[in-house]
Amino acid sequence: MKLNLRVWRQKNSGAEGAMVTYEVDGVSPDMSFLEMLDTLNEDLILRGEDPVAFDHDCREGICGACSLVIDGDAHGPERTTTCQLHMRSFRDGDTIDVEPWRASAFPV
């Protein structure tokens, strides 16, 4: 699959942020959302750009550290942990918005 990601990028909590668009190609429907972000990051690093920062710990759907807001929904369309959200929940060519949690308990 080929996807367009609009990712919230912000250097730190005091900096202004903005959505940045990336194209990710070669996404398998069997990948988790985090594995897809790993694929994006590998490409960004090869191009000399800063990778997308995201939290994760267990990658087994237990801890919830990987939580993101995906297309405006907490955890995305399946309402599961982001590491357990598989790319088969999306279609080839989709544009997906990816944002951090915005709450005082979860500072950007």
Residue for token digits 């999306």? 90
pLDDT band at 44 (very low <50, low <70, confident <90, very high): very high
Q: What is the CATH number of domain 2-99?
A: 3.10.20.30
Q: How many CB atoms are located within 10 Å of the residue 7 CB?
A: 19
Mean pLDDT across 30-43: 96
Which pTM was predicted?
0.88
Position 21 scores a pLDDT of 98
28: left (phi over 0), alpha (psi -120 to 50) or beta: beta
Q: How many CB atoms are located within 10 Å of the residue 37 CB?
A: 23
Strands (E), 1-108: 2-9, 18-25, 69-70, 73-74, 95-99
Higher-confidence residue of 98 and 76: namely: 98
Q: What are phi and psi of 33, to 5 degrees?
A: -60, -40
User: Where are the domains positioned within the chain?
Assistant: 2-99
